[in-house]
Structure 1
Amino acid sequence: MFTRKVPHSPKSDSERRRYPRVKTKVPVDLHCPGSAPMRTSTDELGLCGCYIETMFTIDIGTNLDLVFSLKGGPIRAKGIVATKYPQVGNGIDFIEMDPEDRLKLSESILDLEQHQK
């Protein structure tokens, strides 16, 4: 059986985050300046950020345009890469999102949390 190890900081996830993330696979299109668009999926999703799975990680500090494909329709956000784990993925903080998209994201996260219980 294959397991992956992701380095953790001494703080727990709940101590580091203002808003919890839900473990879910959501398709996302990433657009980095000067690079071809990339399609991947989330591993976790929250109101202020997400964790994406990608073999070819993106450098910390890179600005991104993201489009999430959720049941309620596409949600757009601008983000910045906060963490990088080679051959595993990236943590992304959202730095800009329209209020309507943030509301749709909040509703989607609540729906996902309810279905996981």
Structure 2
Amino acid sequence: MSLFTKKGFDAFVKKLPGTSFVDQWGSHVAKVGDKVFTLLGEGGEARVVVKCTEESFEILTALDGIGQAPYFAKRKWVEIRAGSPLSEDEVAHYLTRSYELVAAGLTKKLRLELGIVLPGK
């Protein structure tokens, strides 16, 4: 199931603890603890937007089909288009990593309430 479809995107994201969805900005947005960690844009070419580390940002934005996410770029967010060279597993990795980066910014109390256990925490 493709992460670039609403059905595939939702199925994957729902597996991550404490997530919720909202439709805003003309996109299907996934949040953890009320903070955006990814969104799916389906108008035109399907795309997934994720937060990434500075190193990943530099690597990913050098690839065709991946660029700075509009309105998010200064905070190291990338837009991965369906036609990018990344495999489905690689997109899933970056989506999960985005979740972890955003969830790490939540309070320890909220992470505990949401059932979030982060690697190395």
Q: TM-score, normalised by structure 1?
A: 0.33
Q: Larger % of strand: which?
A: 1
Q: TM-score, normalised by structure 2?
A: 0.32
